[in-house]
Amino acid sequence: MPHDSLHLQAKVDAESDAKRDVDVLAYFGSGMSATFAAAMCGLMTGFIADLTLGYGEDDLFYLTASMSAMGTLSLLVPYYSRPSNPPPERLIGKSPEYVTFYADAYRAKMRSYQIKSVAAGSIFGCITLTGGVLIIWVQMVGGSETD
């Protein structure tokens, strides 16, 4: 088998297998839950700072800052983490060149799926939290004007 066709076949096989193996919902959920956790930590930090130090920042400030920081962090974690290796049983009986091309393509595709899924989860989490906070804020502001 010529070198280029071997490379192409290994890449096609690896990308197909990676698409079948990836758990998109798990990565989406991790991005979303990281954003929710950071937002809650930011709000709690804001409340504690307001109570103890008396800075008096708006709660929306703490929520926005913590969501932005965690959104960035949730994207960096999968980027710097090592993607999973392909199952070894798929490579039994293959040439060393094929195994090298396949493994590289598999890891690259898995990393791509991981980062895209975490990013989508982070964005969804930020939009959901922002929408929820805005609804609550509008209710609080609207309710205080009628009093």
For 2-29, what is each residue's pLDDT tens digit?
Answer: 668 888 998 999 999 999 988 888 889 8
Kindly indicate the confidence band of residue 144, based on its pLDDT and cuts at 50, 70 and 90.
Answer: low
pTM of the model: 0.71
CA distance 140 to 39: 19
Residue position matching structure tokens 């109570």: 51
Of 59, 43, 60, 30, which is closest to residue 125 (Cα–Cα)? 30
The number of folded domains in the chain is 1
Q: Which domain holds residue 68?
A: 3-146
Given a contact cutoff of 8 angstroms between Cβ atoms, the answer to whether 25 and 120 are in contact is: no
